[in-house]
């Protein structure tokens, strides 16, 4: 037990008084002498010098550490952008269950990548914590393919949603690494550990209008990140996988021919987001041409559904309607809204028909031409945004506080409309979900996920009045199962 004096932070000092040796109480702070100050400063300086030397000699390590994140723990930093993600990876690594490239790490990766059926694919899914990435990973796993995901869990929108998707995948035995596509050494280690048959590259900086606010994050993810993935697939993987990646309907830009066909012009992007996706398609051509990489670009058309992206209009409008907050609608805007389950079928079809890469990482040569494809994945029936809001109002049983303005000059385009005949021909892509049905699935999930006490209107075909549909716990969607 400490003495009373010590416990109170005081020390006893000897002093002489009138020939007698006495004791007096002195505050311990006064005993922080000049010498201990010096010692403290020397320690701090030495530590700083060590950190400086470490950073000088091993700068790349700062962006190369990462952890297995199947435990669902969060390492996200509010306000951080995708380009800052590698520093978060370092934070994550301090609590890593299995560290970078270790035997345990490799074992986990190989387990997750192993197909559960004969002839199953082994797929690396980038952006697996994202909306489309999580749904595709679940669908692939459900049919017996092996899946390893990676995601940097940035805070472009609520990272808790991404962690929720990660947990869904972890529950089904799919590892999603906390890592960034710009981390070349990570990708190298992944391809060293597993001979992936396919890469489904969905990690990207999404959002058309946000590109005006944060242009560099689009270049970092959609251009540099794409090159990083192609580089690894072409030069580090043996054998080379086939790559299927997310382009966008936005590449049609100012095209006015409708419905949009893959043969139409795509050289007039209206936003930087669109320009980076268009750049991606050109980059894909180069990697296919030089390295014989099998590459398929999928032009997604405004994908929506359960576990969706809160930055998208249908999601943010639903939140605003519930909160009684105003929403701003761009007059006459129409979108070919495409339901997630349909898009997942398109992604899986594209993977199944991708065809082999013909290059060799060892020789750096290709044995012949490899497939280079691009497909629209849309719904083929554009709907006015005002109609989308009307469906939400009906389902949520509440009127929106609408403000309708002319479409601002923010990179938006007035309408999208997909011709999907190529995807239909090559892999039987046939979207089957109407906006009414799809938004209903979304609202079901939305109400459950946010634990809202809302009675969801039944489909109009039943002709019945709204019925109670509030449930306590969020569940996976049909695409997930
Ligand atoms: O297909 C794509 O390639 C892209 O689809 C999606 O972009 P968009 O089609 O623009 O979707 P989204 O923002 O939901 O706006 C929907 C509608 O609401 C209108 N809109 C939007 C905001 C607003 O405040 N008011 C409004 O009327 C707006 O004018 C539009 O008509 C993805 O976000 C993008 O990442 C990319 O994948």
In the predicted structure, residue 136 carries a pLDDT above the cut 90: yes
Q: What is the pLDDT of residue 62?
A: 32
Q: What is the mean pLDDT of the chain?
A: 82
Task: Measure the N-to-C terminal CA separation of the chain; round to a whole number of Å.
Answer: 60
The answer, yes or no, to whether any atom of ligand 1 lies below 6 A from the CB of 181, is: no
Strands in 67-68's sheet, in edge-to-edge order, are: 67-68, 175-178, 146-151, 122-126, 198-201, 242-248, 295-300, 372-377
206 touches ligand 1 (CB under 6 Å):
yes
Q: Please say if the pLDDT value at position 68 is more than 60.
A: no
Query: According to CATH, what is the number of the domain 100-301+339-380+416-432?
Result: 3.40.50.720
| CB distance 374 to ligand 1 below 6 Å | no
CA of 208 from ligand 1 middle (Å) equals 7
Q: How far apart are CA 8 and CA 1, in angstroms?
A: 13
Q: How far does residue 210's CA lie from ligand 1's centre (Å)?
A: 11
Cα distance between residue 141 and residue 174, in whole Å: 8
Tell me what the mean pLDDT of segment 361-386 comes to: 96
273 included as an active-site residue: yes
Q: Is the CB of 379 under 6 A from ligand 1?
A: no
Assess whether the C-beta atom of 312 lies below 6 angstroms from ligand 1: yes
Give the pLDDT confidence score for residue 13 in this predicted structure.
35
Q: Which pLDDT belongs to residue 253?
A: 98
DSSP state of 255: -
Report the C-alpha gap between 204 and 436 in whole angstroms: 28
Distance (angstroms) between ligand 1 centre and the Cα of 126 equals 22
| pTM as predicted | 0.80
Is residue 132 lining ligand 1, measured as CB closer than 6 Å?
A: no
Tell the burial category of 323 from Cβ atoms under 10 Å away from its Cβ (0-12, 13-18, 19+): exposed
C-beta 250 within 6 A of ligand 1: yes
What is the DSSP code (8-state) at residue 173? T
| CA-closest residue to ligand 1 atom 13 | 312
pLDDT at 49: 57
Across 222-230, average pLDDT: 98
- C-beta of 335 in contact with ligand 1 (< 6 A): yes
Please say whether the beta carbons of 173 and 217 come within 8 A.
no
Q: Please name the residues in contact with 472: beta carbons below 8 A apart, sequence gap of 6 or more.
A: 448, 451
Which residue out of 412, 415, 416, 438 has the highest number of ligand 1 atoms within 8 Å of its CB and is therefore the one to mutate?
412
Banded model confidence at residue 37, pLDDT cuts 50, 70, 90: low
pLDDT tier for residue 462 given thresholds of 50, 70 and 90: very low
Q: How confident is the model at residue 480, as a pLDDT?
A: 28
Confidence tier at 39 by pLDDT (50, 70, 90): low
Other CB atoms within 10 Å distance of the CB of residue 339: 23
Contact 271, 412 (CB under 8 A): yes
Which ligand 1 atom is nearest residue 413's CA?
29
* Distance from the alpha carbon of residue 413 to the mean position of ligand 1, in angstroms: 9
Domain boundaries, the chain: 100-301+339-380+416-432
Q: What is the pLDDT of residue 80?
A: 31
Over 50: is that where the pLDDT of 7 sits?
A: no
pLDDT of residue 97: 53
CA-only gyration radius of the chain, Å: 28
- Choosing from 252, 273, 291, 304, the catalytic residue is 273
Mean pLDDT of 85-112: 64
pLDDT tens figures, 146-192: 999 999 999 999 999 999 999 999 999 999 999 999 999 999 999 99
Q: What is the mean pLDDT of residues 455-474?
A: 48
- Give the model confidence (pLDDT) of 307-354 as tens digits: 999 999 999 999 999 999 999 999 999 999 999 999 999 999 999 999
Q: Percent of the chain, pLDDT > 70? A: 75
> DSSP 3-state assignment of 28?
helix
User: Ligand 1 within 6 A of 413 CB?
Assistant: no
Q: How many whole angstroms from 6 Cα to the centroid of ligand 1?
A: 66
The CA distance from 447 to 472, in Å, is 9
Q: Please list, in sequence order, all residues whose beta carbon lies within 8 angstroms of the beta carbon of residue 198, skipping any fewer than 6 positions away.
A: 121, 122, 123, 124, 241, 242, 243, 244, 351, 354
pLDDT band at 226 (very low <50, low <70, confident <90, very high): very high
Cα of 272 to ligand 1 centre, how many Å?
14
Our mutation pick for probing the ligand 1 site, out of 203, 310, 385, 408, counting the most ligand atoms within 8 A of Cβ, is 385
pLDDT digits (tens, 9 = 90+) for 406-446: 999 999 999 999 999 999 999 999 999 999 999 999 999 99
Please report the ipTM that was assigned to this predicted complex.
0.99
Alpha-carbon distance of 249 to 264, in angstroms, equals 12
The percentage of the chain sitting over the pLDDT mark of 90, rounded to a whole number, equals 73
User: How many angstroms separate the Cα of 282 from the Cα of each of 133, 247, 285, 352, 372?
Assistant: 23, 11, 5, 23, 11
SS3 state at 115: coil
């Amino acid at each position: 037990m400490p003495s009373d004096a010590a416990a109170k932070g005081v020390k006893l000092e000897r002093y002489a008084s009138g020939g007698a040796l006495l004791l007096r109480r002195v505050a311990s702070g006064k005993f922080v002498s000049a010498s201990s100050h010096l010692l403290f400063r020397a320690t701090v300086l030495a530590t700083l010098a060590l950190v400086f030397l470490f950073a000088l000699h091993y700068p790349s390590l700062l962006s190369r550490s990462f952890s297995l994140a199947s435990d669902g723990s969060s390492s996200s930093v509010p306000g951080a952008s995708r380009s800052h993600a590698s520093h978060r990876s370092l934070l994550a690594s301090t609590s890593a269950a299995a560290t970078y490239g270790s035997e345990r790490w490799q074992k986990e990766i190989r387990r997750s990548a192993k197909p559960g059926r004969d002839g199953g694919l082994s797929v690396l899914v980038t952006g697996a914590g994202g909306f489309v990435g999580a749904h595709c990973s679940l669908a692939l796993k459900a049919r017996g393919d092996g899946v390893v995901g990676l995601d940097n869990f940035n805070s472009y929108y609520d990272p808790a949603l991404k962690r929720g998707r990660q947990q869904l995948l972890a529950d089904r035995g799919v590892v999603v690494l906390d890592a960034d596509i710009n981390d070349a050494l990570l990708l190298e280690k992944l391809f060293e550990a597993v001979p992936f048959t396919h890469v489904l590259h969905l990690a990207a900086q999404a959002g058309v209008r946000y590109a005006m606010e944060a242009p560099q994050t689009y270049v970092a993810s959609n251009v540099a990140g794409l090159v990083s993935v192609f580089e690894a697939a072409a030069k580090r993987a043996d054998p080379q996988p086939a790559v299927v990646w997310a382009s966008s309907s936005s590449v049609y830009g100012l095209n006015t021919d409708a419905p949009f066909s893959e043969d139409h012009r795509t050289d007039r992007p209206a936003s930087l987001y669109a320009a980076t996706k268009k750049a991606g398609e050109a980059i894909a051509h180069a990697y296919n041409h030089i390295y014989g990489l099998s590459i398929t670009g999928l032009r997604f058309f405004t994908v929506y559904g359960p576990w969706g992206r809160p930055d998208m209009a249908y999601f943010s409008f639903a939140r605003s309607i519930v909160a009684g907050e105003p929403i701003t609608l761009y007059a006459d805007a129409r979108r070919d809204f495409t339901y997630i389950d349909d898009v997942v079928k398109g992604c899986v079809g594209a993977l199944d028909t991708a065809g082999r890469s013909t290059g060799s990482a060892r020789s750096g040569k290709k044995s012949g031409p490899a497939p280079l494809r691009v497909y629209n994945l849309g719904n083929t029936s554009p709907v006015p945004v005002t109609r989308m809001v009307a469906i939400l109002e009906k389902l949520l049983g509440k009127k929106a506080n609408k403000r309708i303005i002319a479409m601002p000059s923010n990179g938006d385009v007035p309408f999208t409309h997909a011709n999907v005949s190529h995807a239909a021909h090559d892999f039987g892509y046939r979207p089957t979900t109407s906006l009414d049905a799809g938004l209903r699935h979304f609202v079901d999930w939305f109400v459950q996920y946010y634990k809202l006490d809302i009675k969801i209107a039944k489909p109009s075909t039943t002709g019945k009045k709204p019925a109670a549909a509030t449930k306590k716990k969020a569940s996976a969607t049909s695409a997930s199962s």
